[in-house]
Structure 1
Amino acid sequence: MAKNLYVINTEPRSGKSAICLGLMQMLMRDIRRVGFFRPIISGKIEGRRDHDTNLILSQFYLNQTYQDAYGYTLEEARDLMNRGEHALLMENILAKYKALESRFDFILCEGTDFSGSDSAFEFDINAEIASNLGAPVVLVANGQGKTSKQIVAQTQLAIDVFAEKGLDILATIVNRVEVPDRNEILSGLRCKYRLNEECLTYAIPEVPSLGKPTVHDVQKWLGAEVISGREHLEVLVDDYVVAAMQVNNFLEYVSKNCLVITPGDRSDILLACFATRQSHTYPEVAGIVLTGGIKPPASIQKLLEGWTGIPMPILVADGHTYKTTRILMDLYGRIDPDDQKKIATALGVFEEHVDTGELRKRLEAKKSTKVTPVMFEYSLIEKAKADRQHIVLPEGSSDRILQAADILLRRGIVDLTILGEPDTVLARAGQMGLSLEKAQILDPVKSDLYEEYWNTFLDLRKSKGMTPEVARDSMADPTYFGTMMVYKDHAGGMVSGSITTTQQTIRPALQFVKTRPGISLVSSVFLMCMPDRVLVFGDCAVNPSPNAQQLAEIAIASADTARQFGVDPRVAMLSYSTGASGAGAEVEKVREATQIAKSMAPDLPIEGPIQYDAAYDPDVARTKMPDSLVAGKATVFIFPDLNTGNNTYKAVQRAANAVAIGPVLQGLNKPVNDLSRGCTVPDIVNTVAITAIQAQFAKKA
């Protein structure tokens, strides 16, 4: 079963809060612990809680605080995006969600209110958040004031937009429908769904008592004082009329159940409103809001007190007329947590028009396998933090390394040793506003470990002709010193390469850390974070032209790496030919490598030779290899040579907008990883987290 559900409306005032009430009621019948989360709330009115969050928490007595239930206000989210901190926004939202997920069996999530001025921003941010939470979606469309054709056209457009963004749309609910024949809407949308028959569609009629505010709602929203008609505050408000003209002109704008907003010193408007109650030719107003905190003069109040007709609610608000009107523009038919009548109405209407049994059954069948780049990167950090390792960074003279170190330490991902002259490193960190106090900073030559390390190196390499002088000089090199820290278990792993070559990083590891038993070479993979899954590509960075035996070892090592990072390995041994359809030396090499790999790991799903499209695309796989356990479902792609692998990963990275994390070195007894010299600070943070996870597995081996 899915573990979450995301409710997104397609435009403002769609009655989304009533839908969330109905969905929460449905979920709590069968699921013991249900939580509620709004990644982004409107936060427009200072000092007030978000309406929907407060409603759900109050009605269902959820075991969570208000602060736990949301991530950011819309203004805060937009500000982060404008400052270029999109990744931070997503990461923090995901972190808050994960904190709730650890406490609850299911999370009902609600999107933004579309109350801002930029609906495109809200469309995009809701889609991205829902995707990164791996949540199926319920779309809520607004049918108020629209014909059936308009509803179908506009709702279908919203569906198409969200579907193109890769969202799994579980159901569409058209709410507040005013047309008499709702079946026309349902049949129209179901026809449009012919390519996606899994999506459920419902239509809920407009219920005036839910969609329109009462005078009581206005009074609470403004914090106004009631000076008359307290017993008639439950009258529904259909419209607002600002009265700032003479009475004869004002009366032209009066409509049934309108709320009149006028300065408190306009006694003429006040009396005209009461006159409509006595006239059969004018509609009755719902009530009056007097602005500026001005109450009627004593003579007018005396007149009102002696009124024998139907009482009219009169409110006095402190703000001036424009301010009061502007505040009321954000008020619509809200369901107050204390209004059990409205809540019961909302729940009853939802259950009458939404087949909750069908919806619940469909939700039970959902199990998200989507892994977005944000989800994967977050999981890396969390796995690394769960069992914090000690990582050494030899390149203390690299600004990017220092910036990454600051992030790693602030977030408590790993413990760090940075190699370099301490005063120089700290001075540079201070210039960049970084905090490295929690790091150990060592100058290799001045370290107490230096003599022990070069003597160890001498002993390990004596048979290769190593001399004391060369051993001392080698261990003065930060990369050798850092690698020896890993060999001696003074660090769990090492990350280098931002300002040095791959060869400089790997050479000392090969000399004394060495490869694991049964593995004759060091190879690499890239973790390719596609929009909805993570794939493993190897070898794309180290071995130019592996033979069949080496290719098989790369496949087995890549499958092991995949498992370490939560990817179920299904290995495709890539070639320009699929199955027995082609011949040639390169195809035969892949065919032989496949057989060797199968003998090394009999239980591992491996297919080869196979072309990339047959390995990746289920439709192609059904044609080319219909009975394969790997074709169309491959997660680990083994390339026949470095030229093919390196070019392919870069092509996929650019063409598919994938995030490529790596290279991740594999095959060593202990983790040492190489950075690209063009790496970014986030690349370094991810690589250190990967190294820490590898160190966790190395400790258990």
Structure 2
Amino acid sequence: MAFASSSMAALSRPLAAVSSGLGSALSRASQLLTSGSLSSSPTASHSSTRRFISDGTVGSKGRPDSLFLSDISMSGHRAPLLLGWLNYLERHLPHVGFFEPIGGRALAGSELSVDRHVELMYRVFNMKGDATRMTGISDTEAAQLIASGKQSEVLDRIYAAYMAYKAGGELDLCLVEGPGPLMGGTELDAQIAAALNAPVLMAMSGRPNATANDYYNKAMVKRQVFADHKVDVLGVVINGLPREHHAILSSQLRDKLERAGLPFAGALPEDPVLSSVRLDEVRTALGATQLYGETWLGDVEFDEVVVGSQRLEELLETLVERPMGRPLVVTSADRLDIVLGLLAAQLSVRGPSVAGVLLTQAGASRITRSYAKSAVDNIFAGLSNNTGASGGGPDGAAAANGSAQGSLYRGALLPVLSTDKHLAEALAVIGRMDASILPTSIRKVTQCKMLFDKYIDANAVVTGLQKSRPTRVTPKMFQHTMKAMCRASPQHIVLPESVDKRVLAAAADVTARGLARVTLLGDPTTVQAEAKKLGLDLSGCHIHNPNSSDRFDKYVDMLVEARKKKGMTREAAADTLHGDINFFGTMMVAAGDADGMVSGAIHTTASTIRPALQMLKNPASSLVSSIFFMCLPDRVLVYGDCAVNVSPSAADLAAIATTSADTAAAFGIEPRVAMLSYSTLGSGAGPDVQKVTEAVALVKQQRQDIKVEGPIQYDAAIDPAVAAVKVKGGSEVAGRATVFVFPDLNTGNNTYKAVQQSTGAIAMGPVMQGLLKPVNDLSRGCTVPDIVNTICVTSIQAMQFKQRTQAAVAAAAAPK
């Protein structure tokens, strides 16, 4: 702001473009969507009518359940778009929410103490529930974690908070605002959108001299960032496009973007109401209180700041010279003569117009110096009408309640604000202010809604939202769902390798988070001493010493009985249990003393799995096999068999396919099974192709409920574009497969490792299938999170076993 004066400083500020921000999101449901028209206002430039289909199948048909607004200009001007979108969506959906992945600063003096945009949406749209649940993580915490190399933890916390917010509010749609301008830029926005499986609407801010090419190039570059993270971009929207070029720029940009296959949803023009600074913004920025005048007058703009430091008559002369102006007069608290003079001028129909007066600190604290304030209180109270809201002091409050009688004045009283800041400090704060939108900014909020309805083609975005997409489980979704299931029903998991510090750390973490009940095998004194050195709390774990176990003889008897045909004696069984801690853990599972076992951090796969193959093989299952959950950046796939069966037959491949499909379904992944080969549906021939062909036929014969395709090559199974060329006649699996069955161990093992090492994917497994109860193997290079994940997988398998057992008992007890 620049200062000008005549014996005073008049502060004139160019009115900056208003902050705006849009973040959008669809949640849970089309079954609750209304079927009303989704067109914008009748005056909108593009108002072709569309409807949400109220078919109850948004989730099942894979439609996205969120809309993510990313400010690719990094300007932070998003509020008008946010308000417009939320208003539009609330007209057509009963329950719409708003979520900030990373929360910024709160408004000064905020009672909610939440991000300013969260408070704006919460109050303007009268949202219910706890506003603090509308933020994933604070900017301070996020910055510390990212600086410490823990960006994955930031995404985990955002996803968990987002899912909890959606579940708690039973939302039909959730609007998500990307934190890019706050931190991380478009790259972090893309990572968060991918984690939430949310399609993106890119928002840009208008610039005075920007051309259509400038906006287009920016959009294309940022679109590729989202494409790299497999995030769908639904279109582009602009806030604050220069009004004089709005029509031509909008037309040029629409043509360019649509030729590139990117819808243009429109542009809000620059608007004088939105770019103005209003009294309520000054009050909030300074933490000021309103002494006198109607509170609704805080929602009025001022066009300059005039500092009143001269005599009253000189100030009035200066104001008269600005007949069309509407300034905010800033003066010190000891100049109540100026307050009374401006009040008198306001009472006259010919007096100069003033938006308001701001009183700043003058010398010593006003607590001990009243500056005849009580007399001024009485004057204002005497002018208050019966319905006006007056200002400070008991008399002013009484007037506001209608107790002041006999006043002849029926107009609005001059707003007078008071701050504890000194004059120079208050002017500095005002000078740094940009126009913003507060929950109390009624005119600005109304203007945002009106401009959105007039200039934004919401249907262009809604069309993209309604397009059916295959259900895709992202790694964050997968792990969140898995851990939620574990917390709902914690299982008892035995961990034999208590000598490994990673296992101890995982055990402490799992029990602290309530994911499982854990038994560690080892000497309690030794294990606790090691945990103390590592700073781990194992108080939630049970530590069991196999060498002094009161169950030892029971396990010996069980092992002899199970292996007697192999010549097992009691002596040999006792030696086995004393010498092989994995065997002891397996016997705990077989005896029902634990629900599952996880080992392999310091043991080979063979030593981990062999006891399970001897004691827990399911007689009803023809084959024991394994799968890996491959957690790619944008989805979770199932690979099998990559660890157990070296050269499976056609019948073995069919068994692997059906079991893997059931495992995928149990973990929330819709099974679409691709039986892999070097040939796609007869494009090549040979014994290996014939084996896969026979396996596909067996699956279709045995399990008609499973979607299966093969023989098929990997590219045709995963890429819709390749599938369209190689697979004719349509397929429910080609290009959309989620379960990949490899023809042999050599192919499967090398493929999972190649994908893991080349893409950075998390390979969770091997997860054993076909056992009576779950025993799972770890990689010897595993991390603590790997162990935690494997414990969770094992727990869910244990739940499945119990459910199958209960179902079998119920079926046996049912009358024939």
Alignment TM class, shorter chain as reference: 0.7 to 0.9
Deviation track 1:426-472 (CA, whole Å, cap 9, x = no partner) reads: 11111111111111110112122111111111121122111111111
User: Does structure 1 residue 193 correspond to structure 2 residue 254?
Assistant: no
Q: 1:275 offset after TM fit, Å?
A: 5.6
Q: Which amino acid in structure 2 is aligned with residue 91 of structure 1?
A: D
Contact 1:528-1:661 within 8 A present in 2 as well? yes
User: How high is the TM-score relative to the length of structure 1?
Assistant: 0.87
Q: Deviations over 1:102-126 (max 9, x none)?
A: 132324333256554x5xx132222
CA contact (8 A) 2:626 2:644 kept: yes
CA RMSD, 1 decimal: 3.1
CA distance in 1: counterparts of 2:179 and 2:424, whole angstroms: 24
CA deviations 1:279-331 (Å, max 9, x no partner) are 47x995833545xxx54567877877777644464422434678656655774
> Is residue 226–residue 313 contact of structure 1 (8 Å, CA) maintained in 2?
no
3-state DSSP of counterpart to 1:208: coil
Cα distance in 2, alignment partners of residues 148 and 273 from structure 1: 45
CA distance in 1, matches of 2:107, 2:458: 34
Q: CA, structure 1 residues 183+472, in 2 after alignment: closer, same or farther (shift >3 Å)?
A: same
Which amino acid in structure 2 is aligned with residue 109 of structure 1?
L
**1:661-680 equivalences in 2 (<5 Å):** 661-680=764-783
Shift of 1:608: 2.8
- 2:627 paired with 1:486: no
Q: Describe how 1:17-416 pairs up with structure 2 within 5 A.
A: 17-43=79-105, 48=110, 49=113, 50-102=115-167, 103-112=169-178, 116=182, 121-149=184-212, 150-194=214-258, 197=261, 199-224=263-288, 236-237=301-302, 257-259=303-305, 267=309, 276-279=318-321, 286-289=327-330, 295=333, 309-311=352-354, 313-315=356-358, 316=360, 317-319=419-421, 324=426, 327-328=429-430, 331-356=433-458, 359-360=461-462, 362-365=464-467, 369-416=471-518
Partner of 2:665: 563
Q: 2 CA distance for matches of 1:270 and 1:639?
A: 90
| Residue from 715, 725, 729 that aligns with 1:613 | 715
Matched residue SS, 1:209: coil
Counterpart AA for 2:304: C
Change (3 A) 1:421 1:47: farther
User: What SS does the aligned partner of 2:277 have?
Assistant: coil
Deviation, 1:682, is: 0.7
- 1:671–1:691 Cα contact (<8 Å) kept: yes
Q: Give the 3 Å change call, closer, same or farther, for CA 310–201 of structure 1 in structure 2.
A: closer
Give the Å deviation of 1:175. Answer: 1.5
The whole-number CA distance in structure 2 between the counterparts of 1:271 and 1:408 is 76
Cα gap change, 1:312/1:575 in structure 2, threshold over 3 Å: closer, same or farther?
A: closer
Aligned mates of 1:212, 1:506 — CA distance in 2? 71
Q: 1:80 is paired with a residue of what secondary structure?
A: helix
- Judged with a 3 Å threshold, the aligned counterparts in structure 2 of structure 1 residues 12 and 221 are, in CA distance, closer, same or farther, namely farther
CA drift of 1:697 comes to 0.9
* 8 A Cα contact 2:495 2:598, kept in partner: yes
User: Secondary structure at 1:176's aligned position in 2?
Assistant: strand
The equivalent of 1:10 in structure 2 is 72
Tell me the residue number matched to 2:738.
635
The alpha carbon displacement at 1:139 in A equals 2.6
Q: 1:539 aligns with which of 625, 630, 641?
A: 641
Uncovered stretches (5+) of structure 1, i.e. residues with no partner:
238-256
Q: Contact 1:403–1:681 (CA<8 Å) still a contact in 2?
A: yes
Using structure 2 for the length normalisation, give the TM-score. 0.76
Instruction: Measure the CA separation in 2 of the matches of 1:634 and 1:181.
Output: 48
CA contact (8 A) 1:227 1:314 kept: no
The correspondence for 1:475, drawn from 546, 563, 577, is 577
* Structure 1 CA distance for aligned equivalents of residues 68 and 97 of structure 2: 12
Shift of 1:226: 6.5
Contact 1:151 1:185 in 2 (8 A): no
Structure 2 counterparts to residues 502-517 of structure 1, below 5 A: 502-517=605-620
Aligned pair count reads 670
Question: Partners in 2 of 1:488 and 1:643 — Cα distance?
Answer: 35
- Aligned AA (1:166): K
Moved more, 299-308 or 340-349: 299-308
Please say if residues 274 and 312 of structure 1, whose CA atoms lie closer than 8 Å, have aligned partners that are also in contact.
no
Q: CA deviation at 1:234?
A: 5.5
Asked whether the 8 Å contact 1:148–1:184 carries over to 2, the reply is no
Structure 1 residues 630 and 81, CA gap change in structure 2 (3 angstroms): same
Question: What whole-Å deviation, never above 9, does each CA across 1:126-184 have from its counterpart, x for those lacking one?
Answer: 22222211222233221153444344444454444434443322342211222334343
Q: Cα gap change, 1:450/1:236 in structure 2, threshold over 3 Å: closer, same or farther? A: same
* C-alpha contact 1:111 1:126 (8 A) present in aligned 2: no
Partner of 1:530: 632
Query: Match for residue 241 of structure 1?
Result: none
SS in 2 for 1:690: helix
- Does the CA-based 8 Å contact 2:204-2:238 persist in structure 1? yes
Change (3 A) 1:528 1:303: same
Between the two proteins, what is the percent identity of the paired residues? 39
Tell me the residue number matched to 2:676.
Answer: 574
3-state SS of 1:692 partner:
helix
- 1:210 match: secondary structure: coil
State whether residues 71 and 181 of structure 2, in contact with CA within 8 Å, keep that contact through their aligned partners in structure 1: no
Change (3 A) 1:535 1:329: farther
Quick one: distance in 1 between partners of 2:326 and 2:281? 16
Aligned to 1:72, the other structure's residue is in SS state strand
Partner Cα distance (1:41, 1:346) in 2: 23
User: 1:36 and 1:155 mapped to 2: Cα distance?
Assistant: 25
Change (3 A) 1:112 1:333: farther
Give the counterpart letter for 1:637 in structure 2: F
Alpha-carbon distance in 1 for matches of 2:226, 2:423:
40
Distance of 1:330 and 1:158 partners within structure 2: 30
CA drift of 1:700 comes to 1.5
**Higher deviation after alignment, 7-16 or 345-354:** 7-16
